Amino acid sequence: MHPRQALLTSQLGLVVKNANTLSRSYSSVPDAVGSQDTVGGIVSNIAQHLGMGEFATGGLQLAVIGGFLAGFRYFGGYFVDYVKKRVIVTANFDSRDESYSWILNWLNEHPYSNVATQFSVSTVISRGAQRLPGEGLDSTAPAVYFLPAHGLHILRHKNRFMWLNRERPSPSVAAAGGQSNGPAERISISTFGRSRAPLHNLVLEARTLFIERDKSRTVVFAADQYGAWRRTRSRLKRPLSTIVISHTVKDRLVNDAKEFLESENFYAERGLPYRRGYLLYGQPGSGKSSMIHSLAGELGLNIYVVNLSNKSLTDDTLGELVSDTPSRCLLLIEDVDSAFVQRTQGSANSSVTFSGLLNAIDGVAAQEGRILCMTTNHIERLDPALIRPGRIDVRILFENASQAQAAELFRKFYPGLPTQDALKLSKEFSSHIPEKRFSMAHLQGYLMGQKNNPIAGANGIQEWVQRHENNGGSDSTAYDQDQEVEEFGNTGCISGTSTPVRPATPARPATPKRIPFTLPEVRKPDE
């Protein structure tokens, strides 16, 4: 035999011998039973039975042992997982979900965030840890949040050890995982034990903390390019008293919305879709958006804004977005005329089709308990189907400033004035303003130039008005009628009593048409 061959044979013999020894060591059966009962023995017996040589027997024994080890490795993972599941409880949070913001906020408040040596700094608490505009604008300096950095952290909460893993997959991993909503960040929090209660309570605590933080604010969500809602900003609630419109209109609108939110049973008992739609229409800068923000604040609802001009928005994503809104929220579609002029004209400015919009508004997936608000400066351009009863239940006309509104705006603009002075100066101010000639935004702009000088504000208005009238003014022709709420049938779909709005000619009329209404009074649902 060749010396190398002899060496190989002797080495293999050694391995086989060791394998026999090893296989014996796994056996818990006493030697008295005989070597036949060990794994090695059984394998060699089978090998002998098959007429295999010593070399092949050793190979077979090695293969069997390798198989055992591979099997242990494979099933060992399951075993470890099984044990983990029985002694460790874990909660996972995904950045695409609102609960992620609760946890980030909770972490920011947690003492660990002050001592963590690896931490990230953020000016916003938001999903996806994205830099989003708007937060902190109400204060002079933007807020700063200190959060544990990505990676593993061990912290103590309510006398319990917990470990937290904050992970952000790379975009390639997210793409491979088919995450169409963009790469998601994840936080998992674990602790020993089988009870979910500690983590359950932690989540509830985080939610309460977050709600407290937003209590005095209205949070605005907007659809991102992936078709998911993103928190874009939160604003201090705007008091209703700062909106200068007819008090009757304001009260009726707010009461109507409040009544709706309390009438779930009424709708359920009658099998009516539980939603309510408002259309705020009229002059630019007359307070439509401000009224909606104020209304949301009053009702304690967050605002979900859909921008139909967003080219990445499709019928499907719009439908998903609407069905993804919480059951209590205000869904806002601003400047709805800019995307849809008339059904027949298609949707040149939007990837969403007209029927896609209608489906999203009242399709089966549309959320119950939702308030829909649409705004437009051109009601006459809207397709009647879009604003038919059931989709839009209440219409509110916003006009340019009346003299009474101008006077009230003046008084609210200078709240520190003694009553007598406020009355005198506001009268002087408003007397020079032609009825419904200028928008409230326009007048507010003028007053901003006289922020600290109410007397100059009152005295200078005449010259300002003359100047703007000579220039043709920047406001369009005034309406000739009073502000009012126009009320369709309460139940929307089954009404059929209202007079539909005729699609107007494409040319912009000087004076928007008033829409006739059939029910002058707001009816209570249980009347």
Ligand X SMILES: Nc1ncnc2c1ncn2[C@@H]1O[C@H](COP(=O)(O)OP(=O)(O)OP(=O)(O)O)[C@@H](O)[C@H]1O
Residues that bind ligand X (CB under 6 A): 242-245, 284-290, 375, 377, 398, 440-441, 444
CA pair distance 297, 240, nearest whole angstrom: 9
Residue 304 near residue 369 (C-beta atoms within 8 A): no
Whether the CA torsion 271, 273, 274, 278 is positive or negative: it is: negative
Distances (CA, A) of 324 to 131, 196, 370, 410: 23, 27, 11, 42
Rounded-to-5 percentages of helix, strand, coil across the chain: 45, 15, 40
Cβ of residue 444: shortest distance to ligand X, in angstroms?
5
Cβ of residue 314: shortest distance to ligand X, in angstroms?
25
Residue 329 near residue 344 (C-beta atoms within 8 A): no
Number of Cβ atoms within 10 Å of the Cβ of 82: 10
| Continuous H helices in 273-312 | 288-299
DSSP code of residue 504 = P
Residue 198 or 285 with smaller CB distance to ligand X: 285
Residue 100 or 304 with smaller CB distance to ligand X: 304
Query: Hey, what are 382's tokens?
Result: 């809207």
Residue 444 or 459 with smaller CB distance to ligand X: 444
Residue 198 or 287 with smaller CB distance to ligand X: 287
231 burial (CB, 10 Å; 0-12 / 13-18 / 19+) is: buried
Cβ of residue 129: shortest distance to ligand X, in angstroms?
30
Cβ of residue 483: shortest distance to ligand X, in angstroms?
9
Residue 157 or 233 with smaller CB distance to ligand X: 233
Strands (E), 226-362: 229-236, 275-282, 303-306, 329-333
Cβ of residue 445: shortest distance to ligand X, in angstroms?
8
CA pair distance 88, 202, nearest whole angstrom: 16
Q: Among 205, 253, 221, 224, which Cα is nearest to 106's? A: 205
Cβ of residue 448: shortest distance to ligand X, in angstroms?
9
Distances (CA, A) of 408 to 114, 246, 274, 352: 49, 11, 37, 41
Residue 391 or 442 with smaller CB distance to ligand X: 442
DSSP code of residue 227 = S
Cβ of residue 432: shortest distance to ligand X, in angstroms?
19
Residue 42 near residue 26 (C-beta atoms within 8 A): no
Residue 245 or 379 with smaller CB distance to ligand X: 245
CA pair distance 494, 509, nearest whole angstrom: 32
Residue 27 or 289 with smaller CB distance to ligand X: 289
Cβ of residue 438: shortest distance to ligand X, in angstroms?
11
Amino acid (one-letter) located at 431: S
Residue 287 or 457 with smaller CB distance to ligand X: 287
Cβ of residue 307: shortest distance to ligand X, in angstroms?
13
Residue 383 or 408 with smaller CB distance to ligand X: 408
Cβ of residue 223: shortest distance to ligand X, in angstroms?
19
Residue 58 or 297 with smaller CB distance to ligand X: 297
Cβ of residue 378: shortest distance to ligand X, in angstroms?
10
Query: Hey, what are 509's tokens?
Result: 């009329």
Residue nearest to ligand X (CB): 287
CA pair distance 295, 291, nearest whole angstrom: 6
Number of Cβ atoms within 10 Å of the Cβ of 363: 13
CA pair distance 373, 330, nearest whole angstrom: 7
